[in-house]
Structure 1
């Protein structure tokens, strides 16, 4: 169906004949006249109304014109302030933008008796406002500013930023509002950097310092990640590389897989299902999302199958107490417990330290026999094991050399068996 729909859409684009957006059985259509609402109406309307209000507010405050407002990367701006800023930081940032921060001009306006002079206490500038703080020529403030630029440049290098983009940002900040981005470009620079410089200079110094940057920064950096095939690209948008997953979905399924790998012993599964733990988990992390989810579901189902199977009254746990036989009329009466001094009864269990080695060996043999019985019954019924069903549908994608973690665990288990249980083969 997806392939047919894609073909129809491509044909409609080539011919110019597009289907009517109003379908026969559509009982509700929400549109603003130019586009329809396909997602949550509440979120969409809230976003549209917020965008309209913000555009009017920035225009009234002479911060951004309508054209400049459309050039700002608001999506990443909002994501950054929500995920990286603490609540106190967001409150301070809002005060800083609307000139309500603790500069001397603001303090003089609030309490002129306590702060009689609005001048800068560092350089004696007549007015200290939010714009002057970052441009103050005082030696101490200048040193703090340069240290901040150096730390930002180091962070950009660690994030594998486009080298030219990184140089432009560093040199522009070092100019301290006295230079333009266009003046930093060298002859023969690619057109995308020229367009970035034009939009950047149109927005200006204050917008850049306060985080209202052009969308071109994100577009150029994303192209750089794609060209270098960096893993940072997958962190930006997993859906484009991992079968339609978002970053949060990818993290959740990989966290589930990690728990299953750490908590599942291959020898506790059926003989056929134990092969699920022999995959290459590095390849599994890079595979399609359906492969990862099917593998996790298969392991959970295999563990559940072993837990629910029970033959001849044996339990799944080696240390579990044997079941008591049901009492009948002709059964011998239960022997009363001996009462100790003080009226308390002595525990009737046997210490695990007194368990002999042949008894431990018998438990291992019984568990192996139970697994063989399970496998034989499943085959006799003509049923497929979890591994059979999984390998038939995803065998080509899951066929791998095996996990190093699995091999280390098997080697460690063999060493423990040979060191502590010499009688077990």
Structure 2
């Protein structure tokens, strides 16, 4: 039996995140963008499956931190001791080995492990979990002092998994889109600097006299300046060049005119 996230997760945010990642995984893409490389490890084609498998050290450090928090929650939430041991190990391996391959797995947990291996690690992380897990934890809760129902436990557990996934998503988006550090912004700055390097060779006679001050700026300082200042200068010098061409054209003899 496949235990799906929408069977027990009533929180709308939890459901929306699960559906987002499931849809992205199904279509093989995170977002439609001309910038398809991973902003952290620079993998050329960043697809949905890359989100949880990125080898970037910073991303994996965050991943480990969130799994540690999950492990602490498992210990505090009357989780079966063996589940508390194997689930963090399984998650940390990021699909590189099967759940059934974890050492010292008890015979009682083997049905869950084998079924989850068929479902897959990536699906596990978005809440597609073998129903065997629920049944195993249900028996444990019956014999514990906890007043938490097994469905509440499952909802909380899946919420923790989605929080881990969402953390990777946020890290990736901040890296990609942050105004100063984002990879897209860095690419824009590189293109702008190339444009500045080209335009610094504009001759004074190519612009109106009142605009020649634009050619007297400290170009070393301009290249190190703010993006807005660089953009302003590029647009200003281009406008001045257009004005210069119009003025030159306006004072030139018309074709076909008598000499």
**TM-score with structure 1 setting the length:** 0.33
Matching residue of 2:257: none
Change (3 A) 1:152 1:236: closer
- Give the alignment partner of residue 175 of structure 1, picking from 78, 83, 93: 93
- Give the alignment partner of residue 131 of structure 2, picking from 206, 212, 215: 215
Residue 9 (structure 2) pairs with residue 78 (structure 1):
no
How far, CA to CA, are the matches of 1:226 and 1:98 in structure 2? Answer: 36
How far, CA to CA, are the matches of 1:162 and 1:209 in structure 2? Answer: 19
Matching residue of 2:19: 94
Say if 2:78 and 2:144, in contact at 8 Å, map to a contact too: no
Change (3 A) 1:194 1:230: same
- Give the alignment partner of residue 50 of structure 2, picking from 132, 147, 157: 132
Change (3 A) 1:106 1:230: closer
More RCO (CA 8 Å, sep 6+)? 2
Q: Within 5 A, what are the aligned runs for 1:192-341?
A: 192-233=108-149
How far, CA to CA, are the matches of 1:232 and 1:216 in structure 2? Answer: 18
Change (3 A) 1:104 1:196: closer
Cα deviation for residue 235 of structure 1 reads: 8.3
Residue 82 (structure 2) pairs with residue 157 (structure 1):
no
Cα deviation for residue 141 of structure 1 reads: 0.8
Q: How many correspondences in the alignment?
A: 152
Change (3 A) 1:218 1:234: closer
How far, CA to CA, are the matches of 1:191 and 1:202 in structure 2? Answer: 18
Structure 2: runs of 5 or more not aligned = 154-259
SS in 1 for 2:129: coil
* Structure with the greater alpha carbon radius of gyration: 1
Q: Within 5 A, what are the aligned runs for 1:21-32?
A: none
Cα deviation for residue 105 of structure 1 reads: 5.9
How far, CA to CA, are the matches of 2:55 and 2:121 in structure 1? Answer: 17
Matching residue of 2:64: 146
Cα deviation for residue 196 of structure 1 reads: 1.0
Change (3 A) 1:194 1:231: same
Change (3 A) 1:209 1:105: closer
Structure 1: runs of 5 or more not aligned = 1-70, 109-114, 238-425
- 1:162-185, Cα deviation, whole Å (9 max, x unpaired): 010111101011111111111114
Say if 2:41 and 2:55, in contact at 8 Å, map to a contact too: yes
- 1:176-216, Cα deviation, whole Å (9 max, x unpaired): 11111111141xx5432111111111111111011000011
**TM-score with structure 2 setting the length:** 0.52
Cα deviation for residue 151 of structure 1 reads: 1.1
- 1:359-407, Cα deviation, whole Å (9 max, x unpaired): xxxxxxxxxxxxxxxxxxxxxxxxxxxxxxxxxxxxxxxxxxxxxxxxx
* Structure ranking higher in helix proportion: 2
- 1:12-62, Cα deviation, whole Å (9 max, x unpaired): xxxxxxxxxxxxxxxxxxxxxxxxxxxxxxxxxxxxxxxxxxxxxxxxxxx
Cα deviation for residue 146 of structure 1 reads: 0.8
Say if 1:97 and 1:210, in contact at 8 Å, map to a contact too: yes
- 1:255-277, Cα deviation, whole Å (9 max, x unpaired): xxxxxxxxxxxxxxxxxxxxxxx
Change (3 A) 1:121 1:97: same
Alpha-carbon RMSD across the aligned residues, in angstroms, is: 2.7
Residue 32 (structure 2) pairs with residue 107 (structure 1):
yes
Matching residue of 2:84: 166
